[in-house]
Amino acid sequence: MPHLMNTYGRQPVAFTHGKGVRLYDEDGRAYLDALAGIAVSTLGHAHPDLVHAIADQAARLLHTSNLYRIGEQEALSDKLAAISGMDEVFFCNSGCEANEAAIKLARLYGHHKGVAVPGIVVMEQAFHGRTLATLSATGNRKVQAGFEPLTPGFVRVPFNDLAAVEAVAAHNPGVVAVLVEPVQGEGGINIAHLDYLRALRGICDAQGWLLMLDEVQCGIGRTGKWFAHQHAGILPDVMTLAKGLGSGVPIGACLAAGRAVGVFKPGNHGSTFGGNPIACRAARTTLEVIERDGLMQNALRQGAAICSGLRRALQGLPGLREVRGDGLMIGVELDRPCTELVARALQGGLLINVTVEKVVRLLPPLTFSDADSDELVTKLSALIREFLGA
Ligand SMILES: *Cc1c(COP(=O)(O)O)cnc(C)c1O
């Protein structure tokens, strides 16, 4: 037995290498990757431009320190600002760290305004990470259970429910921010209505709150725009990124605009590894390839093909609740727990995920081709039909 802490229920497979949208196991068997390591492998596996950039950077400089200027970090911050309209970036190494930065920023912002006990509005079914503050912000008891006392300072409301946020505004004077995923990933691919996001922007402006968007899963081109909130034509005050940003190299980011700019001062926050040259080079290359190869347009095209293909193949099936998607974030909700579909798909050479027990979740690389989408629809619809006994 390997000497690993028992934190994951793992599938009985180990991959040795990958190429494009395929992974290969120790016996040389190929799998179609419709999960991308949970929305991480944006460019698929062993993308030649990314391989070259990482190798080149490794031969130059892996790490210095945030005690010095870092050219690659400055260049990446410029690129992120240009594509997002945000003003400042703090770099870290993961999604939970990006959200920790956002939570700390909101609290400091509140204290600067003279709020003694600043609160943050968070959503039911939200997922923001596994550190103590982010699991407290998460709207899932399974993530929290056993780790009490939870971090205080969060006010929870139902997702996509504007009246609930308005009620908080009327009754909770200490609130200073709203934290929300434009598309809830772990929560089951729940898509925020664009009018809801616009109205949240309005409430935050009226109240002097920070609108903080967790785009750790839905950002970086996956929904057909760089960032999912851009479909609503709004600009947040804070946005967090991670997963797909480095296409497999760990990197997270917390971006600020408007009222959130200039809140942190030297000494308020930091990270040893955050924004080091190798991670920033990987992220910059990922963004360049997305742009150069039209991968956002491709995410829209493949997402539409997969959703319509699955709807057609599963139409009228008792047990199917809904097929929903936003670009290449796709959920197939069934009326019963279906976690065993993950192992069945694996046996059939297909990598998928099931979240909240009843939602098959698809997060393919943005490099999926028409043929890959066809193959996914064919294999997955057969598995679901068989599972539902249809
Ligand atoms: C995965 C995820 C996180 C946590 O990211 P880690 O890198 O695992 O810490 C936070 N928010 C959202 C929306 C996520 O999907």
Q: Where are the domains of the chain?
A: 15-33+294-387, 49-292
State the average pLDDT for the chain.
98
Q: What is the mean pLDDT of residues 140-146?
A: 97
243 is a catalytic site residue: yes
Ligand 1 atom, smallest distance to 95 CA = 5
Please choose from 92, 132, 186 the residue to mutate so as to test ligand 1's pocket, defined by most ligand atoms within 8 A of CB.
186
Whether the model clears a pTM of 0.75, i.e. scores above it, the answer is: yes
- The span from the first CA to the last CA of the chain, in angstroms, equals 40
159 is a catalytic site residue: no
Phi-psi region of 138 (alpha: psi -120 to 50; beta: other; left: phi over 0): beta
121: Cβ–Cβ under 8 A, 6 or more apart, which residues? Answer: 154, 155, 156, 157, 165, 168, 175, 177, 178, 179, 209
Instruction: Of 361, 324, 333, 334, give the one whose Cα is nearest residue 193.
Output: 324
Q: Report CA(39)–ligand 1 centroid distance (Å).
A: 10
Judge if the beta carbon of residue 100 lies within 6 A of ligand 1: no
Judge if the beta carbon of residue 216 lies within 6 A of ligand 1: yes
Report helix angle 277-292 to 48-60, nearest 10: 150
Q: What is the mean pLDDT of residues 148-176?
A: 98
Report helix angle 71-84 to 277-292, nearest 10: 40
Task: Please pick, among 90, 91, 127, 227, the residue that the annotation labels catalytic.
Answer: 127
What pLDDT is attached to residue 1? 81
Ligand 1 atom, smallest distance to 184 CA = 13
Read off the pLDDT of residues 323-365 as tens digits, 9 standing for 90 and up: 999 999 999 999 999 999 999 999 999 999 999 999 999 999 9
Separation between Cα atoms, residue 11 and residue 15, nearest integer Å: 11
Q: Tell me the CATH class for 49-292.
A: alpha beta
Judge if the beta carbon of residue 214 lies within 6 A of ligand 1: yes
Which of the following CATH numbers is that of domain 15-33+294-387: 3.90.1150.10, 3.20.20.450, 3.10.110.10, 3.40.30.10?
Answer: 3.90.1150.10
Say if residue 63's pLDDT is above 80. yes
Which residue has a Cα nearest atom 11 of ligand 1?
Answer: 128
390 confidence band (pLDDT: 50, 70, 90): confident
Separation between Cα atoms, residue 372 and residue 387, nearest integer Å: 22
Say if residue 81's pLDDT is above 90. yes
Judge if the beta carbon of residue 215 lies within 6 A of ligand 1: no
Say if residue 73's pLDDT is above 90. yes
Q: What are the tokens at 40?
A: 């991480």
Separation between Cα atoms, residue 366 and residue 35, nearest integer Å: 11
Q: Report CA(96)–ligand 1 centroid distance (Å).
A: 6
Which residue has a Cα nearest atom 5 of ligand 1?
Answer: 95
Judge if the beta carbon of residue 95 lies within 6 A of ligand 1: yes
Ligand 1 atom, smallest distance to 126 CA = 13
Percentage, residues of the chain above pLDDT 70: 100
What pLDDT is attached to residue 48? 98
Please choose from 138, 190, 217 the residue to mutate so as to test ligand 1's pocket, defined by most ligand atoms within 8 A of CB.
217
Task: Please pick, among 154, 243, 368, 372, the residue that the annotation labels catalytic.
Answer: 243
Judge if the beta carbon of residue 250 lies within 6 A of ligand 1: no
Please choose from 92, 96, 227 the residue to mutate so as to test ligand 1's pocket, defined by most ligand atoms within 8 A of CB.
96
Report how far apart, in Å, the C-alpha atoms of 308 and of each of 207, 221, 300, 316 are.
Answer: 41, 20, 12, 14
Say if residue 314's pLDDT is above 90. yes
Report how far apart, in Å, the C-alpha atoms of 90 and of each of 139, 167, 254, 286, 325 are.
Answer: 25, 32, 5, 18, 30
Q: Report CA(37)–ligand 1 centroid distance (Å).
A: 12
Ligand 1 atom, smallest distance to 99 CA = 10
264 confidence band (pLDDT: 50, 70, 90): very high
314: Cβ–Cβ under 8 A, 6 or more apart, which residues? Answer: 320, 323, 332, 381, 384, 385
β-pairing verdict for 252-256 and 238-241: antiparallel
Ligand 1 atom, smallest distance to 181 CA = 13
What pLDDT is attached to residue 167? 98
